[in-house]
Structure 1
Amino acid sequence: MPRKLKTELIENFLVVWNPKDGSELYKMGYYGKPMGIPKPKIAEFNVPLILDLMEGLYLAEKEIIAISERPRNRKVSLRKLKYKARKLYEEFDLKFAVYKDLRDTGFIVTPGIKYGCDFAVYKHGPGIDHAPYMVSVRNSTDEITATELVKAGRLATTVRKRFILAAPIHGNKKIQYLIFKWFKA
């Protein structure tokens, strides 16, 4: 079994202090952000890598990273990480189910905050292609108004992306995706 890459939990983030390990994670699927490098042009960098809790939990579940925290370098359990994530992210379990499904399907998933959605989704990765999709996660029982749908559609069209509603069902074991394609009437 390959070695797990060491990360440290600090507040609401995970830090991969070893730049070589951070570069390896970044190359694996554009995980994290190199510290102080907003848009990395290459996957090799000489700074620590910062992971958000969603990425960290995904990688920990896949047994790619090992998480510890100071002062005693104690191991952080998946349960503790989920607890922290649930406090940080609204509707964490729904969003994490969608994140996992998209990642497991082979997409590159990044936070979608700058687009007003939950995730920006790439086919190949940031710097290689533009994210063709913006994903908003909803509970399958939520209602969405026509106004909300039009707003999302206008934004998606403006930034040249497809708008997707993702709704986990069956206890988050399956995800329903609704993709919207806009046209001029």
Structure 2
Amino acid sequence: MSVPSQEKLTFEVYVVGWKSIVMNVERSAQLFKMFIGKPLGVSKPDPNTVYKVPLVLSMYEALYLCEKGVTEPILNTKKIDCKTLEEYFINLMPKFKRKYLVFKDLRQRGYIVRSGMKFGTDFTVYELGPGLEHAPYVVTVASASDRLKAVDIVGLGRLSHSVRKRSVLAIADEERGSVNYIVFKWVKV
């Protein structure tokens, strides 16, 4: 899913802890139509509704939009660049870089990426978008340097069965800037 060019959509993003807020409600509505962010105070937003409220971005969405050149992040009343924003998020979450690498890769492939916390994973991934379908994938991120055990793989298979989704192991290689994916599907034998 693409992001509008800088001329069409440049806006300030206020970074507050793990989240970032777009106060401009017109820009918020444009982003939400592209399945970026969630309207502030709306627990289950309808993708067909235009909300006239600020938009809350995840840390991944905030950095992604910054790198696309359409945002001006503000932290503690100061405008910051994308590198400073990334460093800020890494300080909050040491595994941020590998997870962001996966988020960015999936977004660039046209998927809609949301938090997977309620399923015990890093991300839920949609082909059409939340509110239009149930997420077909749940994604767990691992580093290329991680040593996985057999029980970890079995756990991913059990997860995909219990939530009736395809479980994906995303292996992020931070040094190379690449991601490889392994998809698990529960089958009866």
* TM-score (norm. length: structure 1): 0.91
Q: In the alignment, is residue 22 of structure 1 matched against residue 28 of structure 2?
A: yes
Structure 1 residue corresponding to 2:12, chosen from 6, 12, 15:
6
Deviations 1:97-150 (A, max 9, x none): 111100000000011111111110000110001111111111112122222222
Structure 1 residue corresponding to 2:119, chosen from 102, 106, 115:
115
Corresponding position of 1:161: 165
Could you list the runs of 5+ residues in structure 2 that have no partner in the other structure? 1-6
SS in 1 for 2:143: coil
Q: In the alignment, is residue 130 of structure 1 matched against residue 134 of structure 2?
A: yes
Corresponding position of 1:64: 70
Whole-angstrom distance in 1 between the partners of 2:126 and 2:161: 16
Could you list the runs of 5+ residues in structure 1 that have no partner in the other structure? none
* TM-score (norm. length: structure 2): 0.89
The 5 Å alignment of 1:81-96 reads 81-96=85-100
Corresponding position of 1:33: 38
Provide the alpha-carbon RMSD of the alignment. Answer: 1.6
**Amino acid across the alignment from 1:157:** H
Stretches of 4+ aligned residues off by more than 3 angstroms: none
Question: How many percent of aligned residue pairs carry the same amino acid?
Answer: 37
Whole-angstrom distance in 2 between the partners of 1:93 and 1:178: 20
Corresponding position of 1:46: 52
Task: Figure out how many residues of one structure are paired with residues of the other and give that number.
Answer: 182
Structure 2 residue corresponding to 1:152, chosen from 138, 149, 156:
156
Deviation at 1:70, TM superposition (A): 4.6
Range with greater deviation from structure 2 (116-125 or 141-150): 141-150
Deviations 1:51-108 (A, max 9, x none): 121110001100122222454xx31211221111102224111111111100000000
